[in-house]
């Protein structure tokens, strides 16, 4: 009888813990939120999108004739592919189940004019657990 109660309690514990998102710097839940932040704040923001591309090609290069299409809008700025690598835990507060994280964000562009262009940004962010057990990304910096 006691073994059955222990097994039931263990089953309930694993059921409850397996349903909540994993809180860590590199969890799939955290990476999904960061991808949405990059899409919303860089890719879908024309100013940031153009700024990142200009930074990657080197702004003085845009004075050359071959880049003039980017400036006058006749050639669309290519959409970059991005990847987050070298994710690191800077700090972990076990009391609040929160993490301070750092990583590298790599942008890569390739189009008819610019070939194999890449840019790296060093990013940092916090992953916190909310009171309802979900994740919250805060202090996303560096991009």
12 in a structural domain? no
For residue 14, being part of any structural domain is answered with no
d(CA 23, CA 136): 9
For tokens 């750092």, the residue is 102
Structural domain includes residue 69: yes
Q: What share of the chain is helix, strand, coil (3-state, %, to 5)?
A: 40, 30, 25
Look at the chain and report how many structural domains it folds into. 1
Query: 33 is in which domain, residue-wise?
Result: 23-141
Q: Is residue 93 part of a domain?
A: yes
Does residue 80 surpass a pLDDT of 90?
no
C-alpha 122/C-alpha 47 separation (Å) is: 20
Question: pTM of the predicted model, to two decimals?
Answer: 0.71
> Using CB atoms within 10 A of its CB, is residue 38 exposed (0-12), middle (13-18) or buried (19+)?
buried
Task: Kindly tell me if the per-residue pLDDT of 96 is higher than 90.
Answer: no
**Dist CA 3 CA 100 (whole Å):** 41
Task: Supply the mean pLDDT for the chain.
Answer: 78
At 8-47, the pLDDT tens digits run 334 444 434 444 557 899 999 999 999 998 888 877 777 7
């Amino acid at each position: 009888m006691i073994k059955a109660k222990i097994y039931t309690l263990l089953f309930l514990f694993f059921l409850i813990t397996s349903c909540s998102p994993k809180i860590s710097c590199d969890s799939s839940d955290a990476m999904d939120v960061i991808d949405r932040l990059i899409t919303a704040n860089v890719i879908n923001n024309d100013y940031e999108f153009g700024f990142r591309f200009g930074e990657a090609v080197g702004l003085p290069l845009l004075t050359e004739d071959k880049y003039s299409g980017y400036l006058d809008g006749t050639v669309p700025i290519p959409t970059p592919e991005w990847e987050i690598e070298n994710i690191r835990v800077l700090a972990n507060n076990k009391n609040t189940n929160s993490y301070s994280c750092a990583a590298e964000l790599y942008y890569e562009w390739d189009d008819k004019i610019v070939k194999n262009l890449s840019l790296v940004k060093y990013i940092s962010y916090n992953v916190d657990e909310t009171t309802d057990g979900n994740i919250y990304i805060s202090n996303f910096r560096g991009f």
